[in-house]
Amino acid sequence: MAKLYFYYASMNAGKSTNLLQADFNYRERGMRTMLFTAALDDRFAAGTITSRIGLSAAATTFDAATDIAACVLAQPNPACVLVDEAQFLNAAQVDQLARLADTHGIPVLAYGLRTDFQGRLFEGSARLLALADALIEIKSVCACGRKATMNLRVDADGRPVAEGAQTEIGGNDLYVALCRRHFVEALRT
């Protein structure tokens, strides 16, 4: 029975690296995969999933209007669907992913952030937390050595940012993965 998996973590935990490794494992066995990534994340190259350790692969981009199930079902014999930046899915798209697993027997591996820079759930993450058959946390480390679970947004001078749009695309230049204690302390200063 196929399942919907949600692999979640803070920034810089290796989510894209894990996704690309899973993709490699399927393809090494001669299986066809479909990769998706958010159209708004163009930090490296549009339509590409890129990890910080240098791995990358072409992917189909999605935005709020993308019918992911239709894209998948238009392809011959997909063995697995892998979604990067899954926090940017909307609830209807997560429902589509669940149907791909339940009705069509296609495993779906979704990778993304659980919460934003204010500690609030993203729409896609909230729906994945509600529907996924398996929730897998990928561990990251705070500077203190504890598990990092939060994403602190910082400005150009490294100062914490507490207000603003939920989505601002960036990497180490805009976000720092912290444990909850240090996240809360940083926002108090």
- Walking along the chain (189 residues) 10 residues at a time, the average pLDDT comes out as 96 94 97 95 78 90 97 97 97 98 98 93 98 97 95 86 70 82 91
pLDDT at 170: 59
pLDDT at 56: 86
To the nearest whole number, what is the mean pLDDT of the chain? 92
Of the residues 28, 85, 123, 163, only one is catalytic, namely 85
Based on the residue annotation, tell me whether 168 is a catalytic residue of this protein. Answer: no
Beta-strand (E) ranges in 93-186? 108-113, 134-137, 150-154, 160-161, 175-178
| Tens-place pLDDT, residues 53-77 | 889 899 999 999 999 999 999 999 9
Torsion of CA 57, 63, 69, 71, to 10 degrees: -60
pLDDT at 171: 60
d(Cα 158, Cα 146) in Å, to the nearest integer? 21
pTM of the predicted structure, to 2 decimals:
0.92
pLDDT at 3: 98
CB atoms within 10 A of CB 101: 20
DSSP 3-state assignment of 71? helix
Residues, the chain: 189
Question: All domains of the chain, ordered by start, with CATH?
Answer: 4-139 (3.40.50.300)
Name, in order, each residue with C-beta under 8 angstroms of 70's C-beta and a sequence gap of 6 or more. none
Alpha carbon separation from 28 to 3, 25, 57, 150 (Å, rounded): 21, 5, 14, 34
